[in-house]
A and B are shown apart, each in its own frame.
Chain A
């Protein structure tokens, strides 16, 4: 029985990860602990005293409102981190892609293997995150585990197009722009920390168009059990579509870069 070629790319990633998994899991744990403590508990105490499980937060405490949003945002950050320097390194620095392409592995296997690996990283990060949410009492029912696949999907919707972008770059200076003008503004204004209904009316449609808002709404709707099924399907469809377009773009970009 032969191992699918994309799985061999995945196996390489897993072997490299074996070296760093302890530190990586620890930071996946520490990050939500710090955010949920500072924002959820600290800031949340003020918010809840002022509003008291306000309707704008869907009747939840600020901690419960915030946590799934942060989960989606963390998935975005993880995906961006795994799809920028890592992709450039495999093309330019360590040139691992070139080593793989000298074997039966083909260019599409690189894309599929890479994104499968990112999905695994997202699964690990989201699972640890949900564990921390449970420790903080930020989950209301066991159904909150549904936020894990939602977070993985959110991450992939970012990982695929960002990988495509990374494969077109000659050096890493463009990545700072991805974070400064993409990841950070989305993190702040896509409904992670406050409902987008708090934004001025004319920028709200902009927020609705951003992928992170759909990820946040999907994670939050599933974690809190407050999501309209039709809307949840819509959010998921948006993210699947973005991931699909991203995969197509990544195949194109990888082929242009590595298959000349």
Chain B
């Protein structure tokens, strides 16, 4: 198993699609991204995980060559965004956090005008429009207005649009935020298919399950910095235990507990609404808690997730 990439054994700027060293973005006196290092290899699905305001979107905007780099090195597709922005963007697909669909045009027109921005020939655009609408299951809506489409459909159209130039690198900023579970799963399935086809994905998310589903490798960002890097499984192994025991108590009771929790597991985390016990055998810890006279209202034993990694690294839960 390969360890996390470090500055010494990274694939090198020529092999990686994105190469960043000391990448920094400041707005006046505010530092949005603070000297981060990372590489993204071809064919990889790479994630930026972190709470809102951690600097994920700003990092993405620099990669997308729309926001100038304040300091540090960044190459995208082997080129410098400051010098070759248009050339890089010609080979990128971008799914922004907020939809930027054209409400005055139809579904198909949204795709075709976007193809024109890349100066693709009209015949090719017609063919790709057909294929992409099929791919995101919007063929029946081709001649409908965009406005009345559901959130999930708009997201799918945005993804189809980002693929019109057959990008080498697809950037997705919180691709499923605000979607219902069914719409999210459909979207994940489409992204997974793209990954199988060899498209390199870079995404930001504050959803643990999304990162676990889609990312081969990810960095956890907090307060403009990268605080951890690795595959979801590596991060869990490094920063958490195999299982977690979750106990909910009657309101007011949790605050009176202290000694009874001590030593139940490797680590005990007290959230406002529940107590988390980090331990390799959750069932055994639940029995031990009962023997100590603890009577929670509900008990749940689950596997560790990236949420626990984040909690461990930052002392905060992700979706506040």
Contacts and interface: CB of A to CB of B under 8 A. Distances in A.
Interface of A: 2-3, 5, 8, 11-12, 15-16, 19, 94-96, 98-106, 258-260
B119 to A, nearest CB: 5
A98 B117 contact: no
Interface string B72-107: 000000000000011101101010101111111100
Interface residues of B, number: 30
A104 B109 contact: no
A260 B27 contact: yes
Given A16-B105, A19-B104, A105 B85 contact: no
B250 interface: no
B218 interface: no
The 5 closest A-B pairs by CB, nearest first: A99-B100, A102-B94, A103-B117, A104-B86, A95-B100
Nearest to B98: A95
Given A102-B64, A104-B86, A94 B103 contact: yes
Contact of A260 (B67, B96, B117, B119): B67
B170 to A, nearest CB: 11
B104 A103 contact: no
Nearest to B85: A106
Contacts of B105: 15-16
A120 B102 CA distance: 21
B46 interface: no
Contacts of A16: 102, 104-105
Contact of A104 (B64, B104, B118): B118
A12 B116 CA distance: 9
Contacts of A105: 86, 117
B268 interface: no
B68 interface: yes
Given A5-B86, A12-B113, A15-B109, A104 B102 contact: no
Contacts of B90: 103-104
A8 B117 contact: yes
10 contacts: A3-B116, A15-B105, A96-B100, A99-B96, A102-B94, A103-B118, A104-B87, A105-B86, A105-B117, A260-B67
A5 B116 CA distance: 10
Contacts of A3: 116, 119
B147 to A, nearest CB: 10
Nearest to A94: B103
Contacts of A259: 66-68
Given A98-B96, A99-B100, A99-B102, A11 B113 contact: yes
Given A94-B102, A102-B64, A102-B162, 11 more contacts: A8-B116, A12-B117, A15-B113, A16-B104, A19-B104, A99-B96, A99-B101, A99-B114, A100-B117, A103-B89, A103-B114
A102 B86 CA distance: 9
B27 A94 contact: no
A102 B103 contact: no
A102 B162 CA distance: 9
B85 A11 contact: no
Nearest to A2: B119
A11 B116 contact: yes
Contacts of A98: 66, 96, 100
A257 to B, nearest CB: 12
